[in-house]
Amino acid sequence: MRVEECFAVVFAYTLKDKFAALTGRPGIKCVCGRKGQGIWREQQRNGACTLKQISSYLVFLFFLATVSVQLSTLLFQQGVAWQLSGVHAEEDDFRRLSLSEQQLASLVAICRDSGMRPGELLAILRSDISKSARIPGKAVSDSGSQIRAETLGNSVDFLLKWKLRMLRYNSQGFERVSGYYSAILDDVACFPVDSDGIVYENSWMFERNYGGRRGHEGTDLMPPENLCGQYRIVSMTEGIVEKIGWLPLGGYRIGIRSPSGGYFYYAHLDSYSRSFRVGEYVSAGTVLGWMGDTGYGPEGTRGKFDVHLHFGIYIRTENAQELSVNPYWVLRFAQAICA
Ligand SMILES: [Zn+2]
Protein backbone atom coordinates (compact mmCIF):
# COMPACT_ATOMS: atom_id res chain seq x y z
CA MET A 1 0.00 0.00 0.00
CA ARG A 2 1.35 3.41 -0.93
CA VAL A 3 1.87 6.14 1.61
CA GLU A 4 -0.95 8.30 0.27
CA GLU A 5 -3.35 5.32 0.42
CA CYS A 6 -2.45 4.69 4.06
CA PHE A 7 -2.98 8.33 4.74
CA ALA A 8 -6.37 8.23 3.07
CA VAL A 9 -7.57 5.24 5.10
CA VAL A 10 -6.47 6.77 8.39
CA PHE A 11 -8.06 10.06 7.42
CA ALA A 12 -11.34 8.37 6.58
CA TYR A 13 -11.33 6.31 9.77
CA THR A 14 -10.90 9.33 12.01
CA LEU A 15 -13.82 11.01 10.31
CA LYS A 16 -16.39 8.28 10.86
CA ASP A 17 -17.58 9.54 14.25
CA LYS A 18 -17.84 13.08 12.95
CA PHE A 19 -19.97 11.80 10.11
CA ALA A 20 -22.25 10.08 12.59
CA ALA A 21 -22.68 13.28 14.55
CA LEU A 22 -23.45 15.28 11.42
CA THR A 23 -26.05 12.82 10.18
CA GLY A 24 -27.62 12.29 13.60
CA ARG A 25 -26.89 8.61 13.35
CA PRO A 26 -25.27 6.76 16.18
CA GLY A 27 -21.63 5.90 16.21
CA ILE A 28 -21.22 2.21 15.60
CA LYS A 29 -18.80 -0.29 16.77
CA CYS A 30 -18.84 -3.57 14.93
CA VAL A 31 -17.09 -6.71 16.04
CA CYS A 32 -16.83 -10.12 14.48
CA GLY A 33 -19.29 -12.73 15.68
CA ARG A 34 -18.57 -16.26 16.65
CA LYS A 35 -15.59 -17.82 15.03
CA GLY A 36 -16.28 -19.08 11.54
CA GLN A 37 -19.74 -17.61 11.16
CA GLY A 38 -18.73 -14.22 9.83
CA ILE A 39 -21.67 -12.55 11.48
CA TRP A 40 -21.52 -8.87 12.33
CA ARG A 41 -22.89 -7.96 15.72
CA GLU A 42 -23.84 -4.34 16.31
CA GLN A 43 -23.55 -2.48 19.54
CA GLN A 44 -25.91 0.41 19.64
CA ARG A 45 -25.72 3.60 21.60
CA ASN A 46 -28.86 5.46 20.57
CA GLY A 47 -30.73 3.31 18.17
CA ALA A 48 -30.69 0.49 15.69
CA CYS A 49 -27.86 0.05 13.29
CA THR A 50 -28.81 -1.93 10.25
CA LEU A 51 -26.77 -3.56 7.54
CA LYS A 52 -28.03 -0.86 5.21
CA GLN A 53 -26.48 1.80 7.43
CA ILE A 54 -23.21 -0.11 7.60
CA SER A 55 -23.19 -0.29 3.80
CA SER A 56 -23.70 3.44 3.53
CA TYR A 57 -20.84 4.04 5.94
CA LEU A 58 -18.57 1.79 3.93
CA VAL A 59 -19.51 3.56 0.71
CA PHE A 60 -18.79 6.88 2.35
CA LEU A 61 -15.44 5.67 3.67
CA PHE A 62 -14.52 4.37 0.23
CA PHE A 63 -15.48 7.72 -1.27
CA LEU A 64 -13.34 9.56 1.27
CA ALA A 65 -10.40 7.24 0.70
CA THR A 66 -10.62 7.71 -3.06
CA VAL A 67 -10.82 11.48 -2.78
CA SER A 68 -7.90 11.51 -0.33
CA VAL A 69 -5.72 9.41 -2.62
CA GLN A 70 -6.48 11.64 -5.59
CA LEU A 71 -5.87 14.77 -3.55
CA SER A 72 -2.58 13.58 -2.10
CA THR A 73 -1.36 12.50 -5.56
CA LEU A 74 -2.29 15.88 -6.98
CA LEU A 75 -0.54 17.72 -4.16
CA PHE A 76 2.57 15.56 -4.58
CA GLN A 77 2.75 16.22 -8.33
CA GLN A 78 2.22 19.94 -7.87
CA GLY A 79 4.89 20.04 -5.17
CA VAL A 80 7.41 18.32 -7.43
CA ALA A 81 6.63 20.67 -10.32
CA TRP A 82 7.05 23.70 -8.09
CA GLN A 83 10.51 22.54 -7.00
CA LEU A 84 11.75 23.92 -10.32
CA SER A 85 10.95 27.43 -9.13
CA GLY A 86 13.72 26.99 -6.55
CA VAL A 87 16.34 26.16 -9.21
CA HIS A 88 18.61 29.07 -10.11
CA ALA A 89 21.34 28.90 -12.73
CA GLU A 90 23.61 31.18 -10.71
CA GLU A 91 24.00 28.62 -7.95
CA ASP A 92 27.24 26.62 -7.87
CA ASP A 93 25.31 23.40 -7.81
CA PHE A 94 23.68 24.19 -11.15
CA ARG A 95 26.82 25.57 -12.82
CA ARG A 96 28.84 22.49 -11.88
CA LEU A 97 26.39 20.40 -13.94
CA SER A 98 27.39 17.14 -12.29
CA LEU A 99 26.54 13.82 -13.86
CA SER A 100 27.83 10.32 -13.30
CA GLU A 101 28.90 7.94 -16.08
CA GLN A 102 25.70 5.97 -15.64
CA GLN A 103 23.58 9.09 -15.69
CA LEU A 104 25.30 10.24 -18.88
CA ALA A 105 24.56 6.88 -20.52
CA SER A 106 20.91 7.16 -19.45
CA LEU A 107 20.66 10.69 -20.77
CA VAL A 108 22.00 9.69 -24.19
CA ALA A 109 19.80 6.58 -24.38
CA ILE A 110 16.60 8.31 -23.27
CA CYS A 111 17.11 11.18 -25.69
CA ARG A 112 17.64 8.72 -28.53
CA ASP A 113 14.63 6.59 -27.61
CA SER A 114 12.10 9.23 -26.68
CA GLY A 115 12.94 12.12 -28.97
CA MET A 116 12.93 14.34 -25.90
CA ARG A 117 15.37 17.21 -25.90
CA PRO A 118 18.18 16.83 -23.35
CA GLY A 119 17.27 20.19 -21.85
CA GLU A 120 13.73 19.04 -21.08
CA LEU A 121 14.97 15.77 -19.70
CA LEU A 122 17.46 17.36 -17.33
CA ALA A 123 14.84 19.82 -16.12
CA ILE A 124 12.47 16.95 -15.28
CA LEU A 125 15.17 14.95 -13.56
CA ARG A 126 16.24 17.99 -11.63
CA SER A 127 12.99 17.66 -9.67
CA ASP A 128 12.57 15.20 -6.90
CA ILE A 129 10.53 12.72 -8.91
CA SER A 130 12.50 9.88 -7.35
CA LYS A 131 9.97 9.92 -4.50
CA SER A 132 7.16 9.10 -6.87
CA ALA A 133 5.65 5.71 -6.14
CA ARG A 134 4.98 5.12 -9.81
CA ILE A 135 8.54 4.95 -11.05
CA PRO A 136 8.63 2.04 -13.47
CA GLY A 137 11.28 -0.46 -12.60
CA LYS A 138 13.02 2.03 -10.35
CA ALA A 139 14.28 3.75 -13.47
CA VAL A 140 15.07 6.82 -11.50
CA SER A 141 16.70 6.63 -8.12
CA ASP A 142 18.17 9.04 -5.67
CA SER A 143 21.91 8.76 -6.03
CA GLY A 144 22.62 11.87 -4.01
CA SER A 145 23.46 13.76 -7.17
CA GLN A 146 21.34 16.43 -8.77
CA ILE A 147 20.48 14.29 -11.78
CA ARG A 148 18.87 11.00 -10.94
CA ALA A 149 18.42 8.97 -14.09
CA GLU A 150 20.17 5.70 -13.33
CA THR A 151 18.82 3.19 -15.75
CA LEU A 152 16.75 3.47 -18.88
CA GLY A 153 14.23 0.63 -18.53
CA ASN A 154 10.74 1.75 -19.48
CA SER A 155 11.17 5.21 -18.05
CA VAL A 156 10.45 7.09 -21.26
CA ASP A 157 6.66 7.05 -20.81
CA PHE A 158 7.12 7.96 -17.18
CA LEU A 159 9.26 10.97 -18.06
CA LEU A 160 6.90 12.13 -20.79
CA LYS A 161 4.03 12.06 -18.27
CA TRP A 162 6.10 14.12 -15.86
CA LYS A 163 6.84 16.63 -18.60
CA LEU A 164 3.09 17.13 -19.11
CA ARG A 165 2.53 17.47 -15.36
CA MET A 166 5.26 20.09 -15.06
CA LEU A 167 3.83 22.05 -17.97
CA ARG A 168 0.39 21.84 -16.34
CA TYR A 169 1.37 22.79 -12.80
CA ASN A 170 4.43 25.01 -13.27
CA SER A 171 4.95 25.83 -16.92
CA GLN A 172 6.89 29.00 -16.11
CA GLY A 173 9.39 27.17 -13.88
CA PHE A 174 9.71 24.28 -16.31
CA GLU A 175 10.28 26.55 -19.33
CA ARG A 176 12.86 28.57 -17.43
CA VAL A 177 14.94 25.64 -16.15
CA SER A 178 14.63 23.55 -19.31
CA GLY A 179 15.65 26.69 -21.21
CA TYR A 180 18.92 26.85 -19.29
CA TYR A 181 19.67 23.20 -19.95
CA SER A 182 18.58 23.51 -23.58
CA ALA A 183 21.01 26.38 -24.14
CA ILE A 184 23.78 24.15 -22.84
CA LEU A 185 22.93 20.85 -24.53
CA ASP A 186 20.18 20.87 -27.13
CA ASP A 187 22.23 22.07 -30.10
CA VAL A 188 25.31 19.97 -29.45
CA ALA A 189 26.04 17.82 -32.50
CA CYS A 190 29.83 17.43 -32.72
CA PHE A 191 32.88 16.96 -30.58
CA PRO A 192 35.00 20.12 -30.96
CA VAL A 193 38.27 18.48 -32.02
CA ASP A 194 38.32 16.49 -35.21
CA SER A 195 41.11 14.10 -34.12
CA ASP A 196 41.65 10.96 -32.08
CA GLY A 197 43.61 10.83 -28.88
CA ILE A 198 42.29 14.03 -27.29
CA VAL A 199 42.24 13.89 -23.50
CA TYR A 200 40.53 16.17 -21.01
CA GLU A 201 39.48 16.14 -17.39
CA ASN A 202 36.82 17.80 -15.29
CA SER A 203 38.81 20.86 -14.19
CA TRP A 204 35.88 23.11 -13.32
CA MET A 205 37.05 25.90 -10.99
CA PHE A 206 40.59 24.54 -10.70
CA GLU A 207 42.91 27.34 -9.66
CA ARG A 208 44.39 29.55 -12.40
CA ASN A 209 46.67 32.53 -11.84
CA TYR A 210 47.10 34.49 -15.07
CA GLY A 211 45.33 37.84 -14.68
CA GLY A 212 44.82 37.22 -10.97
CA ARG A 213 43.80 34.21 -8.96
CA ARG A 214 40.60 32.72 -10.36
CA GLY A 215 38.73 29.49 -10.98
CA HIS A 216 38.96 27.69 -14.32
CA GLU A 217 35.67 28.26 -16.14
CA GLY A 218 36.03 25.67 -18.86
CA THR A 219 37.67 22.46 -19.97
CA ASP A 220 41.10 22.09 -21.57
CA LEU A 221 41.33 19.54 -24.38
CA MET A 222 44.88 18.28 -24.80
CA PRO A 223 46.21 16.76 -28.06
CA PRO A 224 48.39 13.65 -28.23
CA GLU A 225 51.37 15.77 -29.33
CA ASN A 226 52.26 19.32 -28.35
CA LEU A 227 52.05 20.65 -31.90
CA CYS A 228 50.47 23.90 -33.09
CA GLY A 229 48.30 23.95 -36.19
CA GLN A 230 47.84 20.17 -36.37
CA TYR A 231 44.43 19.56 -34.84
CA ARG A 232 41.23 20.92 -36.38
CA ILE A 233 38.72 22.73 -34.16
CA VAL A 234 35.10 22.36 -35.31
CA SER A 235 31.93 24.03 -34.12
CA MET A 236 29.97 21.79 -31.76
CA THR A 237 26.72 23.45 -32.77
CA GLU A 238 25.22 25.45 -35.54
CA GLY A 239 24.89 29.12 -34.72
CA ILE A 240 25.97 32.68 -35.31
CA VAL A 241 29.53 33.95 -34.95
CA GLU A 242 29.19 36.40 -32.09
CA LYS A 243 32.79 37.25 -31.25
CA ILE A 244 36.12 36.64 -32.94
CA GLY A 245 39.68 37.88 -32.53
CA TRP A 246 42.27 38.31 -29.83
CA LEU A 247 41.71 38.28 -26.08
CA PRO A 248 44.64 38.62 -23.63
CA LEU A 249 43.33 35.61 -21.73
CA GLY A 250 41.99 33.48 -24.58
CA GLY A 251 44.39 34.34 -27.40
CA TYR A 252 42.76 33.87 -30.79
CA ARG A 253 39.24 32.87 -29.94
CA ILE A 254 35.86 32.49 -31.58
CA GLY A 255 32.43 32.40 -29.93
CA ILE A 256 29.32 30.87 -31.51
CA ARG A 257 25.79 31.60 -30.23
CA SER A 258 23.65 28.49 -30.76
CA PRO A 259 19.94 28.66 -31.66
CA SER A 260 18.92 27.66 -28.11
CA GLY A 261 20.96 30.51 -26.65
CA GLY A 262 24.22 28.94 -25.47
CA TYR A 263 27.51 30.73 -26.18
CA PHE A 264 30.21 28.23 -27.18
CA TYR A 265 33.70 29.61 -26.68
CA TYR A 266 36.84 28.20 -28.35
CA ALA A 267 40.14 29.73 -27.22
CA HIS A 268 43.94 29.63 -27.76
CA LEU A 269 43.55 28.85 -31.48
CA ASP A 270 46.74 28.79 -33.53
CA SER A 271 44.83 30.29 -36.46
CA TYR A 272 41.38 30.44 -38.02
CA SER A 273 40.40 28.23 -40.93
CA ARG A 274 39.21 31.31 -42.84
CA SER A 275 38.04 34.84 -42.29
CA PHE A 276 34.80 34.72 -40.26
CA ARG A 277 32.48 37.72 -39.89
CA VAL A 278 30.51 38.56 -36.76
CA GLY A 279 26.88 37.65 -37.46
CA GLU A 280 27.79 34.93 -39.93
CA TYR A 281 25.96 31.59 -39.72
CA VAL A 282 28.01 28.42 -39.28
CA SER A 283 26.68 24.88 -39.30
CA ALA A 284 27.64 22.24 -36.74
CA GLY A 285 30.94 20.70 -37.75
CA THR A 286 32.25 23.80 -39.51
CA VAL A 287 36.03 23.93 -39.18
CA LEU A 288 36.79 27.04 -37.15
CA GLY A 289 40.56 26.81 -37.00
CA TRP A 290 43.52 24.90 -35.59
CA MET A 291 44.50 24.16 -32.05
CA GLY A 292 47.31 26.34 -30.69
CA ASP A 293 48.94 27.96 -27.68
CA THR A 294 48.05 31.62 -28.10
CA GLY A 295 47.13 33.94 -25.25
CA TYR A 296 48.22 35.15 -21.81
CA GLY A 297 49.57 38.43 -23.18
CA PRO A 298 49.24 41.03 -25.94
CA GLU A 299 48.19 39.95 -29.43
CA GLY A 300 50.53 37.38 -30.89
CA THR A 301 51.71 35.95 -27.56
CA ARG A 302 52.42 32.22 -27.88
CA GLY A 303 54.03 29.41 -25.99
CA LYS A 304 53.06 30.35 -22.42
CA PHE A 305 51.49 26.89 -22.02
CA ASP A 306 51.10 23.62 -23.91
CA VAL A 307 48.99 23.46 -27.05
CA HIS A 308 45.36 22.86 -26.19
CA LEU A 309 41.80 24.01 -26.81
CA HIS A 310 40.16 25.87 -23.96
CA PHE A 311 36.44 25.28 -24.37
CA GLY A 312 33.76 27.11 -22.41
CA ILE A 313 29.97 27.46 -22.39
CA TYR A 314 28.09 30.55 -21.25
CA ILE A 315 24.36 31.11 -20.86
CA ARG A 316 22.15 34.13 -20.29
CA THR A 317 19.85 34.24 -17.29
CA GLU A 318 17.53 36.82 -15.75
CA ASN A 319 20.43 38.03 -13.63
CA ALA A 320 23.50 37.46 -15.81
CA GLN A 321 24.34 38.22 -19.41
CA GLU A 322 27.24 35.79 -19.38
CA LEU A 323 27.20 32.94 -16.89
CA SER A 324 29.76 30.16 -17.27
CA VAL A 325 28.73 26.56 -16.75
CA ASN A 326 30.91 23.47 -16.57
CA PRO A 327 31.36 22.10 -20.12
CA TYR A 328 32.96 18.80 -19.08
CA TRP A 329 29.81 16.67 -19.21
CA VAL A 330 28.66 18.44 -22.35
CA LEU A 331 31.89 17.30 -24.03
CA ARG A 332 31.27 13.79 -22.77
CA PHE A 333 27.70 14.00 -24.09
CA ALA A 334 29.02 15.15 -27.49
CA GLN A 335 31.51 12.31 -27.60
CA ALA A 336 28.75 9.82 -26.78
CA ILE A 337 26.26 11.00 -29.40
CA CYS A 338 28.94 11.27 -32.08
CA ALA A 339 30.33 7.79 -31.40
ZN1 LIG B 1 41.42 26.42 -19.90
Give pLDDT tens digits along the chain (339 positions).
454 555 555 555 555 555 454 445 544 444 444 544 544 454 455 555 688 888 888 999 999 999 999 898 888 888 888 888 888 899 998 999 988 887 788 788 888 877 789 999 888 887 766 555 444 333 444 343 333 444 444 577 788 888 999 999 999 999 999 999 999 999 999 999 999 999 999 999 888 877 778 899 999 999 999 999 999 999 999 999 999 999 999 999 999 999 999 999 999 999 999 999 999 999 999 999 999 999 999 999 999 999 999 999 999 999 899 999 999 999 999 999 987
Residues 306, 229 share a domain: yes
Q: How far is the CA of 243 from the centre of ligand 1 (A)?
A: 18
Residue 68: per-residue pLDDT? 92
Residue 330: per-residue pLDDT? 96
Q: How far is the CA of 121 from the centre of ligand 1 (A)?
A: 29
Residues 111, 44 share a domain: no
Rounded to whole angstroms, how far apart are CA atoms 229 and 133? 55
Q: How far is the CA of 209 from the centre of ligand 1 (A)?
A: 11
Q: How far is the CA of 304 from the centre of ligand 1 (A)?
A: 13
In sequence order, the 6+-apart residues with CB closer than 8 A to the CB of 176 are: 84
Q: How far is the CA of 222 from the centre of ligand 1 (A)?
A: 10
* 190 lies in some domain: no
Residues 98, 78 share a domain: no
Q: How far is the CA of 127 from the centre of ligand 1 (A)?
A: 31
Residue 191: per-residue pLDDT? 97
Residues 259, 321 share a domain: yes
Q: How far is the CA of 206 from the centre of ligand 1 (A)?
A: 9
Rounded to whole angstroms, how far apart are CA atoms 295 and 310? 11
* 337 lies in some domain: no
Residue 314's CATH number: 2.70.70.10
Q: How far is the CA of 310 from the centre of ligand 1 (A)?
A: 4
Q: How far is the CA of 187 from the centre of ligand 1 (A)?
A: 22
Q: How far is the CA of 43 from the centre of ligand 1 (A)?
A: 81
Q: How far is the CA of 220 from the centre of ligand 1 (A)?
A: 5
Q: How far is the CA of 216 from the centre of ligand 1 (A)?
A: 6
Q: How far is the CA of 311 from the centre of ligand 1 (A)?
A: 7
Domain end marker among 17, 51, 82: 82
What 294-303 contacts at long range (C-beta under 8 Å, 24+ apart), as own/partner pairs, is 294/246, 294/251, 294/252, 294/268, 294/269, 294/270, 295/247, 295/248, 295/249, 295/250, 295/251, 295/252, 295/267, 295/268, 296/210, 296/248, 296/249, 296/251, 297/248, 298/248, 299/246, 301/251, 302/228, 302/251
Say if CB 204 and CB 96 are below 8 A apart.
yes
* 270 lies in some domain: yes
Q: How far is the CA of 309 from the centre of ligand 1 (A)?
A: 7
Residues 310, 227 share a domain: yes
Q: How far is the CA of 322 from the centre of ligand 1 (A)?
A: 17
Residue 77: per-residue pLDDT? 85
Q: How far is the CA of 303 from the centre of ligand 1 (A)?
A: 14
Residues 64, 143 share a domain: no
- The beta-strand segments (E) located in 223-293 are 232-234, 239-247, 251-257, 263-272, 281-282, 287-291
* 15 lies in some domain: yes
Residues 218, 181 share a domain: no
Residues 175, 240 share a domain: no
Domain end marker among 185, 219, 248: 185
* 194 lies in some domain: no
Q: How far is the CA of 286 from the centre of ligand 1 (A)?
A: 22
State the total domains in the chain. Answer: 3
Q: How far is the CA of 312 from the centre of ligand 1 (A)?
A: 8
Q: How far is the CA of 336 from the centre of ligand 1 (A)?
A: 22
Q: How far is the CA of 233 from the centre of ligand 1 (A)?
A: 15
Count of CA atoms in the C-beta half-sphere (13 A) of 141: 10
pTM, whole model, 2 decimals?
0.78
Residue 312, Cβ neighbours under 10 Å: how many?
A: 20
* 175 lies in some domain: yes
Task: Give the domain extent around 324.
Answer: 207-329
* 249 lies in some domain: yes
* 228 lies in some domain: yes
